[in-house]
């Protein structure tokens, strides 16, 4: 079998397995198991030892036990719904095998009278007799049963026996893959091959041995494959030649001098990095990462301004229409009047939209703002020179690559995120991009004071709010749910809205994910104009909404949110010149982890530090408080516990890049772990 067909076997459809039909395939696919390799990443959680055989006289009720018996007599009642029985015995006593919903022919086949049969299952006792109900493990060949059986997180409708049979079938046919790693790397993992590591991964005695060579080797493969894909994307983008944009520093500085605030050192550094990319002959593919309120938007707009002055158009995409309009309004405010700034809105009528699209195509618009609609096929640009995407965490590697291709060779790409993440994650998630980081906060921004308060002390919070409202301030009140739930004990936004409306008549608004878009915009506009004092909402306000007059945020059931999400929510206040506060409400029965999270938030306003702590407390996959983040979920690797492997992979990748080593030998690895389209060009 060739190497090519070797790895292709592992990526083949589930129907390639013997005894796996359409029903089982569909059940597995519901769990996102689409090929043989996907099955191998479902690790055993525990095991049942069926290797020791007992005599009937020594059986223990309620335990899984293995016995060898001789079936003596069938009892097949003629009355429906009564179970079928097979009376079995050994030299020490009798036991009944009881079957519900099994045919006589099947029972006679698996338990023939007078033959020695090995059976295993949970023992029960009924009418002074041991019995086994619907035993799953029955065979004339005792070696098939007398062993340790793995326990997996089972897909509904698939038994432990069937699952073990499927996994064992794959492991028995596991192809020999030619080693892709160097001798130096292999030594670090005890020279264990990929095949041997997979086999060891599924051995019951190795459950939980995450520090052993077999596990470390496979985790490293997973990390390294991601580095390889990112490296190939970087190389492909760097090969694209473009016309360098001519940056007019005088016009840029003139605009900066007119701003009502001073840029931080980090902002200047990021702007210079972006300008260098815009000016270069290779395509920019850069991520601008910054903490909440660090001032990414102004840097993105200055980059757009420099691009426009170089004779190109700019497309600026935001995740929501509210945020797109906010960016549009800021651009209108700071850009000179001779720059044509437009917004494509869902509310725009067909005639107006058509007019905007025609202007775009004829190069009569300098910068367009909108949601994903600005990248639809029917939207054509005359001379698109820069694409800016705000809050891009929903974009995966392949989506980013397609986005990079969208504007043609002369179009640069700048992505922005307000989600600070630890370095190990940055290396893997954004390894295909150049990175600019803004950590420094503007000097005008005062630290947000964070307090924690028991839910039972709500009367104290109400007194505090009354005082703030009398001082002309506004309040965000965040609840985890839209409506009350009988199953989950979280405060609902609807219930809280009704409660606060009685205390503060005509001063409270309600906003949640089910609110109609036009209604949502009306609510936010009214709140921005200070017509109302309290906005009760779900986490919909988490990203990008900017209301300088709102200086208090109250977050109910704070222990139900991740640290980074709480930090993002807290960042909705403190945007003006007033002292701002965040109040975290919680119930008295807090877990130790919840107490730690709340204390970390009270002690720090640094999003990067908070994200590190968040990952330590919550674990990978649940970082940032949103699982829909598009962040790659590794099967085995963990950025905290395997930070040494991330560093090893980074160094190995640099070595390969610096020596221009042929990476075609890694094709099976990339195919197995990532299957990204980018590697199709690898020989």
**Homologous superfamily of 449-604 in CATH?**
P-loop containing nucleotide triphosphate hydrolases (3.40.50.300)
Each residue of 25-64: b (16+ CB within 10 Å) or e?
Answer: bebbeeeebebbbbbbebbbeebbebeebbebeebeeeee
Domain locations along the chain: 1-46+153-176, 51-146, 177-239+642-683, 249-438, 449-604
* CB neighbours of residue 21 within 10 Å: 10
Compute φ and ψ for 437, nearest 5 degrees: -120, 130
pLDDT value, residue 419: 74
Question: Radius of gyration over alpha carbons of the chain, in Å?
Answer: 31
Exposed, middle or buried: residue 632 (CB in 10 Å: 0-12, 13-18, 19+)? middle
For residue 350, the tally of other CB atoms under 10 A from its CB is: 7
Q: How far is 420 from 611, CA to CA, in rounded Å?
A: 6
- d(CA 585, CA 608) in angstroms, rounded, equals 24
pLDDT digits (tens, 9 = 90+) for 611-657: 778 777 765 444 333 333 334 567 888 777 788 999 999 999 999 99
DSSP 310-330: TT-EEEEE-SSHHHHHHHHHH
**Domain range 1-46+153-176, CATH architecture:** Orthogonal Bundle (1.10)
Distances (CA, A) of 81 to 58, 67, 76, 101, 398: 31, 28, 11, 8, 56
pLDDT at residue number 682: 47
Q: CA triplet 180, 186, 192: central angle to 5 degrees?
A: 95
Q: Which two tokens stand for residue 327?
A: 């960016």
Quote the pLDDT of residue 8: 81
**Intrachain domains 51-146 and 449-604 with the same fold:** no
Q: Say which CATH architecture domain 51-146 belongs to.
A: Beta Barrel (2.40)
- The ranges of the chain with pLDDT < 50 are 1-5, 486-490, 620-631, 682-683
Q: Is CATH 3.40.50.300 the right assignment for the domain spanning 249-438? A: yes
Residue found under tokens 């408080």: 625
Strands 313-317 and 384-389: parallel
Predicted TM-score (pTM) of the model is 0.69
């Amino acid at each position: 079998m060739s190497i090519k067909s070797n790895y292709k076997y592992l990526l083949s459809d589930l129907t390639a397995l013997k005894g796996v039909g359409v029903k089982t395939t569909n059940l597995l696919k519901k769990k996102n198991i689409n090929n043989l390799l996907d099955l191998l990443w479902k690790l055993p959680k525990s095991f049942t030892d069926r290797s020791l055989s007992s005599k009937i006289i020594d059986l223990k009720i309620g335990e899984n036990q293995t016995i060898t018996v001789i079936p003596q007599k069938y009892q097949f009642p003629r009355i429906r719904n009564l179970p079928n029985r097979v009376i079995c015995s050994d030299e020490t006593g009798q036991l009944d095998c009881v079957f519900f919903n099994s045919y006589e022919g099947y029972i006679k086949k698996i338990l023939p009278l007078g033959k020695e049969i090995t059976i295993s299952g949970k023992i029960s006792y009924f009418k002074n007799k041991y019995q086994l109900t619907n035993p799953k493990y029955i065979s004339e060949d005792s070696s098939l049963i007398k062993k340790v059986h793995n326990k997996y997180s089972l897909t509904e409708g698939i038994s432990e026996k069937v699952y073990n049979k499927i996994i064992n079938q794959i492991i028995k046919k596991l192809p020999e893959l030619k080693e892709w790693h160097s001798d130096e790397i292999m030594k670090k993992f005890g020279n264990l091959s990929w095949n041997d590591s997979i086999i060891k991964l599924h051995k019951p005695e190795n459950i939980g041995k995450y520090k052993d060579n077999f596990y470390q080797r496979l985790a490293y493969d997973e990390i390294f494959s991601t580095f390889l894909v990112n490296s190939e994307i970087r190389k492909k983008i760097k090969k694209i030649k473009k016309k360098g944009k001519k940056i007019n520093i005088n016009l840029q500085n003139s605009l900066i001098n007119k701003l009502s605030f001073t840029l931080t050192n980090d902002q200047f550094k990021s702007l210079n990095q972006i300008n260098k990319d815009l000016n270069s002959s290779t395509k920019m593919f850069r991520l601008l990462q910054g903490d909440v309120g660090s001032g990414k938007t102004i840097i993105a707009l200055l980059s757009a301004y420099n691009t426009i002055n170089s004779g190109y158009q700019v497309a600026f995409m935001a995740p929501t229409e509210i945020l797109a309009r906010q960016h549009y309004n800021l651009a209108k405010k700071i850009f000179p009047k001779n720059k044509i700034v437009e917004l494509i809105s869902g509310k725009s009528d067909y005639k107006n939209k058509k007019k905007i699209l025609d202007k775009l195509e004829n190069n009569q618009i300098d910068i367009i703002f909108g949601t994903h609609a600005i990248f639809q096929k029917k939207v054509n640009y005359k001379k698109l020179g820069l694409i800016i995407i705000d809050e891009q965490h929903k974009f995966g590697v392949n989506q980013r690559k397609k986005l990079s291709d969208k504007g043609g060779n002369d179009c640069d790409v700048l992505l922005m995120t307000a989600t600070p993440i630890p370095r190990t994650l940055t290396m893997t998630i954004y390894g295909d991009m150049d990175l600019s980081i803004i950590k420094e906060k503007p000097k005008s921004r005062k630290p947000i004071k964070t307090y924690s308060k028991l839910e039972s002390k709500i009367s104290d919070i109400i007194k505090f709010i009354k005082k703030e409202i009398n001082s002309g301030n506004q309040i965000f009140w965040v609840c985890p749910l839209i409506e009350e739930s009988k199953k989950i004990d979280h405060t609902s936004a609807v219930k809280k809205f009704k409660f606060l409306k009685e205390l503060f008549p005509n001063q409270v608004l309600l906003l949640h994910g089910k609110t109609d878009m036009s209604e949502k915009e009306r609510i936010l506009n009214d709140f921005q104009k200070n017509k109302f004092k309290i906005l009760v909402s779900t986490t919909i306000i988490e990203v990008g909404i900017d209301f300088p007059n709102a200086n208090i945020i109250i977050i109910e059931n704070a222990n139900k949110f991740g640290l980074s999400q709480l930090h993002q929510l807290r960042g909705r206040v403190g945007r003006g010149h007033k002292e701002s506060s965040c109040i975290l409400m919680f119930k008295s029965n807090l877990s130790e982890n919840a107490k730690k999270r709340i204390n970390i938030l009270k002690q720090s306003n640094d999003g990067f530090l908070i994200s590190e702590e968040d990952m330590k407390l919550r674990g990978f996959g649940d970082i940032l408080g949103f699982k829909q983040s598009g962040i790659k979920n590794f099967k085995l690797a963990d950025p905290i516990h395997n930070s040494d492997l991330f560093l090893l992979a980074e160094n190995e990748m640099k070595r390969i890049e610096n020596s221009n080593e042929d990476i075609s030998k890694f094709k099976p690895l990339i195919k197995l772990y990532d299957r990204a389209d980018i590697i199709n060009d690898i020989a």
